Homo-oligomer: A and B are copies of this chain.
Amino acid sequence: MAQTRRKKRPDNLKLVLTAIAESRPEAASAILLHLHPADIGKLLEAIPPAQRHTVWALVEPARAGEVLLEVSEAVRADLIREMDDVELVTAARALDIDDIADLIPDLSDEVIAEILFAMDKQDRQRLDAVLSYAEDTAGGLMNVDTVTVREHITLEVVIRYLRQRGELPEHTNRLFVVDRGDRLLGALSLSRILTADPQQRVSQVMERDLIKFSAPAPDKDVADAFERYNLVTAPVVDENDRLLGRITVDDVVDVIREEADRTVMARAGLSEEEDIFAPVARSTRNRALWLGINLLTAFIASWVIAQFEQTIEKVVALAVLMPIVASMGGNAGTQTLTIVIRGIALGQIGGVNAAKVLSKELSVALLNGLIWSLVVGAVAFAAYGTYQLGLIIGAAMIINLAAAALAGVVLPLAIRRFGVDPAVAGTVMLTTVTDVVGFFAFLGLATLFLL
């Protein structure tokens, strides 16, 4: 029957937990044995630490490495704490070089030394090469298992070589063509090898115009290029155009997911590694800073209100209505901010057209301000029976929506200049603006015209 394996997972989770609860660990082990490492990883992430450690003890050491690669960093650190050095070395030795590199930051010096000791010289050099690049660069993403050929040989010779060599690394859709000095000349797709005349030479059929990455290129650029040009693999080269390795699409998919995740989490002031079962103390600390920053901005808004205490004392309706003005500004501004941040990320908004975007957003803000200030004004008039109050709240709302549009366009562009991610700081700064302008405009106009 047509299916995805994924559908089986919830049952497996239950089956494993039931087997453990009924003290039948061998039954749980048997189920785990048949699961994909990615599925074991998801299962471990979905259960609280105590149960997680019980299940983890049942995973075979030889597969443990693959599972560690699939879980979030917080869960990975938790699982590694549960393993002794022998288990860690066993787990690592079952992995590819680039995967070992991903685990290294979480391992103790002793374990790393033991892993290196168990490797041959070539692998040690390869591991060194991968480790010399930051995780979020093309070099950090690459695999070092490229298969290379020379340009003057015929496809027939290539095929003989491949048969002799045996199995190709996962996700090999093309071989890379290099010269004696390892300089990248082109790529030869497997499908070309299979369909072209075997008497042709590599140089005659290879693709020369390659999209390639320098090792220090940011992983975000790699992901954009893979998405834009529909790549499955791409070569990574050094400053002399020598082939260092290749990036495969499965790793790029992870980059894209993580990036999206980071954006969503950052907007709420959360780190993307916040684990749902992290200890209460750690989560409290992680989130406290953000709440503290927000408290500061709330104090600023309060200070603005405090300047108008006497006005509020005389017309208490202002206290009732003022959150409306601030809230509408915050919401309209968030819409503009979201669109502008997205436009920046997609490369749609640069210096050239920022002015056009601003004028559009201001127009939208004024129109929506007009529409909703009529509604709010009417409601205020109906509730309090003074048309002045309606006029004042309407005017304050239009002013605040215009300020929101301005801040929504200008803030992310300005924040980016300082090298800060607009997704993190943007919302806090924007709502500070809309609170301050909202309260000031509404209470200020009221002080001028109502008293």
Contacts and interface: CB of A to CB of B under 8 A. Distances in A.
Nearest to A287: B335
Nearest to A383: B306
Interface string A326-369: 11100110110111101100111110110011001001100110
Contacts of A221: 4, 6
B172 A191 contact: yes
A2 B237 contact: yes
B332 A287 contact: yes
Contacts of A331: 268-269, 290-291, 294
A338 B265 contact: yes
A229 interface: yes
Interface string A166-187: 1110111100000000000000
A280 interface: yes
Question: Closest 4 CB pairs between A and B?
Answer: A260-B260, A2-B214, A319-B319, A230-B250
B212 A2 contact: yes
A253 B223 CA distance: 10
Interface string A4-21: 111001100110010000
A298 B325 CA distance: 9
A372 interface: yes
A104 interface: no
Nearest to A225: B4
A173 to B, nearest CB: 6
Contacts of A321: 302
Contacts of A165: 195
Interface of A: 1-6, 9-10, 13-14, 17, 36, 38-39, 42, 45-48, 159, 162-163, 165-168, 170-173, 190-191, 193-198, 211-215, 217, 221-222, 224-232, 237-239, 241, 249-250, 252-254, 256-257, 259-261, 263-265, 267-270, 274, 276-277, 280-281, 283-284, 287-288, 290-292, 294-295, 297-299, 301-302, 305-306, 309, 312-313, 316-324, 326-328, 331-332, 334-335, 337-340, 342-343, 346-350, 352-353, 356-357, 360, 363-364, 367-368, 371-372, 375-376, 379, 383, 435
Nearest to A324: B298
Given A249-B249, A253-B249, A350-B10, A299 B379 contact: yes
Contacts of A316: 309, 312-313, 319
Contacts of A298: 323-324, 327-328
Contacts of A297: 327
Contacts of A194: 159, 162-163, 168, 190, 193-194
Nearest to A184: B2
A225 B264 contact: no
Q: Which of A250, A268, A347 is the most central at the interface, judged by chain B CB atoms within 10 Å of its CB?
A: A268
Contact of A2 (B171, B239, B340): B239
